């Protein structure tokens, strides 16, 4: 990333190919267009990062400064305020709970959604078009409406109080089924037929052939699942309650309802909830962007 950035200003760098090539930028109109694109990208980056920066800076303020000052930066960077809020929040166990919910949800999303898409795209049993149409129709149902019957069924089966309903809910995601199905349709049928001729069962074809070839879409589904489970509040609140298994978002809600908590304490708690996703993104950003790009290319 750093090398690519400096290559923009290095005349001895190897020529780049793409929509706008090096010799195209000799034209004045192309130079103006490139400069305009850079400006727009810089503005988008600033707009995207500004809310995060503002929340972090607000966490350094005390209540009086937070309520009265219009400046973004605090008068002093006092890290003891973050330390105090961390001790009040006691969020370590909630981090672990959220990770438990994420791990099970990712496994369910990949296995169950992938199996259904495998049946719709490759096996195609009798009535598969009806099932496919039902999956598409379910996309039109608002999530808040589907939440009521889902919660009623959870209570009837006595599944509350643990992560199992959250895992199963991630394994019944219509959008993920559609994504998997579209990607499976791009896999050459000759590969699957060769595996069947070698004696592979349908389940082995799915686990040994189809899923390894579908790593790009698996990464995309994983990103959507992790983001959705980490930021979800209502379903974990209804299923897990405020007991020992509450997730980070539920903990933030409970923390905000305490009478001794002020707005500046809540800002610092929000920062603690943002840290793990940001760290994971910076660790895996190259892998994530590569797989997102390649997921749109048919094999």
Q: Do 30 and 95 fall within a single domain? A: no
Residue 33 within any structural domain of the chain? yes
Q: Do 164 and 214 fall within a single domain? A: yes
Gyration radius (Cα) of the chain, Å: 24
Residue 193 within any structural domain of the chain? yes
pLDDT at 295: 46
pLDDT at 18: 57
CA 195/CA 198 separation, integer angstroms: 5
Looking at 33, 59, 83, the residue that finishes a domain is 83
Looking at 26, 58, 83, the residue that finishes a domain is 83
Q: pLDDT tens across 69-92, in order?
A: 777 788 778 788 888 888 888 888
Looking at 68, 83, 98, the residue that finishes a domain is 83
- Cβ atoms of 108 and 294 within 8 Å: the answer is no
pLDDT at 19: 61
Residue 299 within any structural domain of the chain? no
Q: Do 233 and 98 fall within a single domain? A: yes
Check which CATH number belongs to the domain holding 92 and give it: 1.10.3720.10
CA 89/CA 111 separation, integer angstroms: 35
CA 186/CA 181 separation, integer angstroms: 9
The segments of the chain whose pLDDT lies below 50 read 1-2, 5-6, 8-9, 295-299
State the DSSP H helix or E strand holding residue 295, giving kind and residue range, or none if neither.
none
Alpha-carbon 266 to chain mean position: 23
State the DSSP H helix or E strand holding residue 241, giving kind and residue range, or none if neither.
none
Q: Do 246 and 167 fall within a single domain? A: yes
pLDDT at 143: 78
pLDDT at 105: 93
Residue 253 within any structural domain of the chain? yes
pLDDT at 38: 87
Backbone angles phi, psi at 87, to 5 degrees: -65, -35
CA 96/CA 144 separation, integer angstroms: 27
SS3 of residue 21 by DSSP: coil
Q: Do 7 and 120 fall within a single domain? A: no
Structural domain including 23 reads 2-83
- Cβ atoms of 256 and 266 within 8 Å: the answer is yes
């Amino acid at each position: 990333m750093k090398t690519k950035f400096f290559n923009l200003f290095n005349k001895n760098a190897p020529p780049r190919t793409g929509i706008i090539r090096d010799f195209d930028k000799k034209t004045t109109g192309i130079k103006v267009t490139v400069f305009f694109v850079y400006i727009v990208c810089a503005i988008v980056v600033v707009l995207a990062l500004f809310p995060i920066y503002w929340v972090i800076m607000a966490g350094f303020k005390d209540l009086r400064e937070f309520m009265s000052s219009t400046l973004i930066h605090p008068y002093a960077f006092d890290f003891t305020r973050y330390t105090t809020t961390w001790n009040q929040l006691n969020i370590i166990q909630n981090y672990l709970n959220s990770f438990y919910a994420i791990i099970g949800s990712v496994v369910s999303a990949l296995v169950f959604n992938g199996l259904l898409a495998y049946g719709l795209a490759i096996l195609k049993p009798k009535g598969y078009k009806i099932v496919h149409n039902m999956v598409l129709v379910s996309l039109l149902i608002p999530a808040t409406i589907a939440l009521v019957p889902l919660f009623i069924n959870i209570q009837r089966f006595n599944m509350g109080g643990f992560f199992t309903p959250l895992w199963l809910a991630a394994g019944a995601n219509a959008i993920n089924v559609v994504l998997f199905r579209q990607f499976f349709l791009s896999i050459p049928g000759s590969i699957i037929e060769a595996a069947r001729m070698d004696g592979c069962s349908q389940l082995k074809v799915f686990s040994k052939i189809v899923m390894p070839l579908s790593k790009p879409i698996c990464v995309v589904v994983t990103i959507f699942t992790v983001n959705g489970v980490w930021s979800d509040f209502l379903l974990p609140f209804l299923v897990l309650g405020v007991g020992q298994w509450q997730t980070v978002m539920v903990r933030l809600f409970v923390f905000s309802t305490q009478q001794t908590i002020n707005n500046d304490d809540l800002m610092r708690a929000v920062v603690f909830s943002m840290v793990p996703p940001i760290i994971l993104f910076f660790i895996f950003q190259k892998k994530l962007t590569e797989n997102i790009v390649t997921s749109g290319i048919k094999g």
